[in-house]
Structure 1
């Protein structure tokens, strides 16, 4: 049990509750489970931990807890006739980038928000939760309000992962480098991993993406639609992500010293940041910092915390390339969405057991997989109407697509068509790579 404010929460129990139901949960039940899961993830943190912002790309845990609450108040409760914000002067503080609803506090200065205090943020969450619950009980949320509520739940699950990746960077940046949780289990040891197996695919036309939501009953973000046909050329995919041992071979062979392997911007970033190994690896290339503290590198686990530049350079060194997001989705479309997600409790990538020949492993969970695809709209893409349309479409510039989810992603949040995206220099996410090659 860990204490957050005046509440004691079992994080393992609450995370399990969000996905353990044997029957589809009601919207109210799902709302409670997702909101409680966020509190469970924040439970190991002190008020001081929850305020830290270690870099401009990350946000304090307190801000994540407040912003996700602001989202529900702004977009769900704010639609109710006569509704007035609980804390009008917080509207600017906890807006992120929704310029159409008003100004936002500077992202790089979120760590300066010592006030409101953590206890006030938790009280704010409880007040909004009570109002949402009442709206669901009495039926005051119309169909559009319920759709926005569902969007808000998906949004909060994204922030649950960001809370973990951001606090990992913050604690690693602390000279003491404490663990987020001392009780995180170590992944079980598996037999030494064999070389990756190439799975070949002939040229074919495949259907990519998800039907537009909310016209289609199953949730998908607007950037996953419209569903459309794509010609995927003949290619081969590795049956698993690149391992720590394989990435160390890239390092030992001078991968960070050979400019011929790197994009120009990547080489400039490498020199400016003095990159010579993945984020969180020690100089001896034998240990890595995890949410459970410093641990020995598992040579067979997927390498993670790579930028797109590093993943691309490693693939080129291996005589391969990064897969396109269409090649990845075609391989994942028929596979079950199961893997090492946050609910498993490891909060770190783990080696996968062997499977039948020709069956891809670890497509979901463990590490997000960088693709060679620039993040842009599909043919006929239309953002969600209104201010919610700022969610994805406005970022379709200068970013690359990642697929599959990670060990910090809530189970049930991703699907084969899910498109994550980050700039190519981002390293603090649980991101790795799978090799592809032309046939």
Structure 2
């Protein structure tokens, strides 16, 4: 993923090249053979859900990326999963949907983006040509100004008050030779270290005038430096975009932890962990947690397992919710991710890079917002084949505090408790 981002950060100008890189970025999805294949079907459903939101909001680049990833996943990559043979019927239905709906939608987006990129490219070329013309005009004006300044700086070697007197009979008379003493000749100027002791007559030597004109020219050039960078190229607007390769903001309602601790109170009093799924919506390229779905589950003092996941999926489909992570308690311990927690969270984060794990530690009155470290921990845990509680290295760290969350004190969490 980082390679594609680096290529795009160079600023692809040509529309076809921009489209090529966007398509390549949309193909960036891999299948973990150790992940339950049903997870990929849930991820695909949520991928389409977010793609539709992006399209409706006019964020065509991100919509295109997600549609491409969906098609790459279910046309190509899912076949690499060892359980693919058991779900061929489902793949057949998905393939039909891709052919009838998703592919036509994606091609329309491709044409729209290509047209947009072409307009940007033409505007860029026009701006560059206009700036080239303005630069030539500035250079010509500067040359003319420098020539005029140099011409004005060449002094007359005869004072203005030195003139030939004409008598009444129009016969010239001898000039007043005493005025010649006021003439300053170039050879009269000292050289070398004594050059600073110039007379205060106001007359300048030609090369001194040129130096002064050059100084004025530099000042004028500095003042008139163009604001438009001719090397600037149209490129992807990567701010708040999947193209940035950065994590989108996850907004957490301010009362989430308090509400969940009340839900977990009975279990906590018995030293039993409680867990719930965090779900919500995508809007304006931010992920908003709106619901805690508390599934049927079995817990121990240091673990919690969900049951009947299909009930969670039904609720999410009814409310068009996207999975954004999970929340659980540590009744007697501090807030951290145990080895089992790391593996649990890996299944969330590998499907949704922004997915968070919230850990509530009521005994210590602390809360942690965690993710696996994207460039090490996620890959390490995905490759780990051990189960149950087992040791992991602490250096480099496998998890970290989530930096992409924002707690919103104004919003309130909703609860769907499937345990009842």
TM-score for the superposition, normalised by structure 1? 0.29
Bigger share in helix: 2
TM-score for the superposition, normalised by structure 2? 0.30
Return the index of the structure with the highest Cα Rg.
2
Report 1 or 2 for greater relative contact order, CA contacts < 8 Å, sequence distance ≥ 6: 1
